[in-house]
C-alpha cells in the first residue's frame, strides 16, 4: 500500500458541528424542522443527497428550487461563522509528514470550491496536491466516483490506496472502489458504526493515524 | 415500573451541537484548543467535570478561576445564540402524554437555572414537575445524586424509575442509583455505546419512546 485519499470535513477539519447547525438553520428557514443528530449522520454525503435523505426521513418535500436555496444558505451560514473551523489534532503534521516522506496523497470531498478553499489553506494543501471536489464528478459519496477520480489523477492503482474518512459514506464508497479504508472517530461516529461500514482499521484522529502509520506498512 | 426521570440536553432538547460549539469557543478564548468530538462525548456531565476531563485529555491545566470563567462564557454563548435550541421530535407530546396519563416524571439535569428555564418552558414543564438542577446536589452525573434527589422529591421508589438519557453519563448514574435506564440516540451516541453503558432499551428519540411505552409496561 502506498497512497492515501483523505476526506476533508470531519476527517482533517473540525467542521462537523458547524455543518450540522448550518444545515439545521437553512432547513428551518425553508420551513423544515429536523433534529441535529439526524443531520449529523448524513454529513459527508453531498448536499443534494443529504437533503434528499433528510426530506425522506422527515416526510417533507423540498422542490428542486427549494433544495438549491437551502444548499446555498447552508454555504453562506457556514462561511459567515464567527469561528471558522480549524484543522483537527495532528492534521497539519500528518499532511506535512506525508509530503516530506513522498507518500502520495489526495483529497476527495463532497464539499465544493470556493467553500473548501480556506479549509485547504489551513492544512497547507496547495496546487501540487490532487483535490477532487463535488462539482468535478457526477455522483458524490457513497458512490465511488470521487475516490476513483482522485486515484486516477494521482496516478496510482486502486489497490494501493487507503481511504481515510470519518463517515459511513466514505467507507462505503471505499468498498465500492475496491480500496481499503481507515475510519476516524473525530467526526463523531462510533467505532462499531465504522467497522460495520467496512473500516479496515479505526483510529481517533489524524494524530493517532500519524502515530500508527507503521501498522499500515508505511 | 411507574415513573420516569428525564435528562434534558440531548434527551428532550436538541441542544448538543450548540453546547459543543459554545464550549469549544469558550475554551478557545481561554487558550485551550480541543476538537469538537471530544467535547461532544462529555456533554451530560456537569460543566466542572467536563472541564476537568477535557483538561486531562488535552494535557492542559485550567486554574479554578479560569474554569469558572470558561463555564460562565459557555453559558453566555449558549444563551446568546441567534437560534435557540428546540424540543426534540416528540418531546412535547411525550411530556403531555405522561401528564394526561398521570405517570409521575421529573427532570434531573447537569444544567442550572437560569440557563435551563427557557428549555423547560419550551417543553411546557411548569412548577408542578420536579426539576433537579446541578446546583441542588453536591455531585453531578455520572454520580447518582441528581437521580436519587429527583426520585425522593417525586415520592417514588428507585425500583420504580426509568432513567431516560442520551449520554453514557446518564446511564452510568442510573446503574449506580439502581434504576433501569433507557438510552436515546438523539444526543449522538451510537446504540452500542449506550448498551455498553447499561441501557435496558435504546430508542431513537422521545417520539419513538412514546410509541414504545407499551414495551416498558406503561
Q: How many domains does chain B have?
A: 2
Residues A202 and A132 in one domain: yes
Residues A20 and A8 in one domain: no
B64: exposed, middle or buried (C-beta count within 10 Å: 0-12, 13-18, 19+)?
Answer: exposed
Q: Does A73 touch chain B (CB under 8 A)?
A: no
- The domain boundary, picked from A55, A79, A103, lies at A79
- Which SS3 state, helix, strand or coil, does residue B16 take? helix
Range of the domain at A42: 16-79
Q: Nearest-CA neighbor of A26 among A58, A61, A52, A51?
A: A51
Residues of B in contact with A25 (CB under 8 A): 83
Question: From CA B145, how far away is CA B66, in angstroms rounded?
Answer: 26
Distances (CA, A) of B144 to B43, B100, B110: 16, 28, 11
Residues B157 and B205 in one domain: yes
Closest residue, chain B, to A89 (C-alpha): B35
Q: Hey, how many other C-beta atoms are within 10 angstroms of the C-beta on A104?
A: 17
Residues B187 and B176 in one domain: yes
Residues B151 and B210 in one domain: yes
Query: Which CATH number characterizes residue B75's domain?
Result: 1.10.150.240
Mean pLDDT, chain A, whole residue set? 94
- The domain boundary, picked from A79, A97, A119, lies at A79
pTM for the predicted model, two decimal places: 0.94
Residues B74 and B89 in one domain: no
Residues B183 and B125 in one domain: yes
The predicted model gives A167-193 an average pLDDT of: 96
Q: Does A118 touch chain B (CB under 8 A)?
A: no
Query: Which CATH number characterizes residue A112's domain?
Result: 3.40.50.1000
Residues B140 and B48 in one domain: no
Question: From CA B142, how far away is CA B132, in angstroms rounded?
Answer: 15
Q: Does A89 touch chain B (CB under 8 A)?
A: yes
Question: From CA B83, how far away is CA B14, in angstroms rounded?
Answer: 11
If contacts are CB pairs under 8 Å, which of residues 17-46 in chain A contact chain B?
17-18, 20-21, 24-25, 28, 33, 35-37, 40
Residues B64 and B105 in one domain: no
Under the banding of pLDDT at 50, 70 and 90, the label for residue A43 is very high
Weakest mean pLDDT among A30-34, A53-57, A165-169, B169-173: A53-57
Q: Nearest Cβ partner of B36 from A16, A24, A189?
A: A16
Min Cα distance A87 → chain B (Å) is 9
- Asked if A88 and B35 come within 8 Å (Cβ–Cβ), the reply is yes
Residues A30 and A137 in one domain: no
Q: ipTM of the predicted structure?
A: 0.94
CB A73 within 8 A of CB A29: yes
Task: Report percent pLDDT > 90 for chain A.
Answer: 84
User: CA angle A75-A76-A79, nearest 5°?
Assistant: 85
Task: State the pLDDT at residue A87.
Answer: 98
Task: State the pLDDT at residue A1.
Answer: 62
Q: What is the pLDDT of residues B99-152, one digit of tens each?
A: 999 999 999 998 888 889 999 999 999 999 999 998 878 888 899 999 999 999
Residues B188 and B168 in one domain: yes
Min Cα distance B158 → chain A (Å) is 30
Q: What distance, in Å, lies between the first and last C-alpha atoms of chain B?
A: 8
DSSP-assigned letters across all residues of A80-109: T-SS---BPTTHHHHHHHHHHTT--EEEE-
Residue A123 vs residue B57, higher pLDDT: A123
Question: From CA A130, how far away is CA A154, in angstroms rounded?
Answer: 7
Under the banding of pLDDT at 50, 70 and 90, the label for residue B176 is very high
Residues B95 and B202 in one domain: yes
Task: State the pLDDT at residue B175.
Answer: 97
- The domain boundary, picked from B33, B53, B79, lies at B79
Q: Hey, how many other C-beta atoms are within 10 angstroms of the C-beta on A101?
A: 9
Under the banding of pLDDT at 50, 70 and 90, the label for residue B154 is very high
Question: From CA A2, how far away is CA B133, in angstroms rounded?
Answer: 54
The predicted model gives B209-217 an average pLDDT of: 94
Task: State the pLDDT at residue B1.
Answer: 62
Question: From CA A117, how far away is CA A96, in angstroms rounded?
Answer: 18
Residues of A in contact with B36 (CB under 8 A): 14, 16-17, 188
Amino acid at each position: 500500500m502506498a497512497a492515501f485519499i483523505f476526506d476533508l470535513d470531519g476527517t482533517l477539519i473540525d467542521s462537523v458541528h458547524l455543518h450540522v447547525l448550518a444545515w439545521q438553520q437553512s432547513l428551518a428557514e425553508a420551513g423544515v424542522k429536523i433534529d441535529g443528530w439526524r443531520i449529523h449522520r448524513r454529513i459527508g454525503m453531498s448536499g443534494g443527497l443529504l437533503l434528499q435523505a433528510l426530506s425522506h426521513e422527515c416526510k417533507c418535500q423540498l422542490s428542486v428550487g427549494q433544495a438549491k436555496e437551502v444548499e446555498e444558505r447552508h454555504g453562506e451560514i457556514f462561511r459567515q461563522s464567527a469561528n471558522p473551523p480549524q484543522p483537527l489534532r495532528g492534521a497539519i503534521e500528518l499532511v506535512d509528514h506525508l509530503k516530506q516522506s513522498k507518500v502520495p496523497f489526495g483529497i476527495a470531498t463532497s464539499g465544493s470550491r470556493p467553500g473548501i478553499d480556506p479549509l485547504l489553506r489551513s492544512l497547507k494543501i496547495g496546487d501540487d496536491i490532487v483535490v477532487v471536489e463535488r462539482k468535478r464528478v457526477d455522483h458524490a459519496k457513497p458512490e465511488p466516483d470521487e475516490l476513483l477520480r482522485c486515484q486516477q489523477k494521482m496516478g496510482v492503482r486502486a489497490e494501493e490506496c487507503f481511504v481515510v474518512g470519518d463517515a459511513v459514506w466514505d467507507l462505503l464508497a471505499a468498498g465500492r472502489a475496491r480500496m481499503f479504508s481507515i475510519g476516524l472517530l473525530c467526526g463523531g461516529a462510533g467505532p462499531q458504526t465504522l467497522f460495520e461500514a467496512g473500516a479496515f482499521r479505526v483510529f481517533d484522529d489524524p494524530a493517532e493515524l500519524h502515530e500508527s502509520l507503521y501498522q499500515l506498512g508505511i
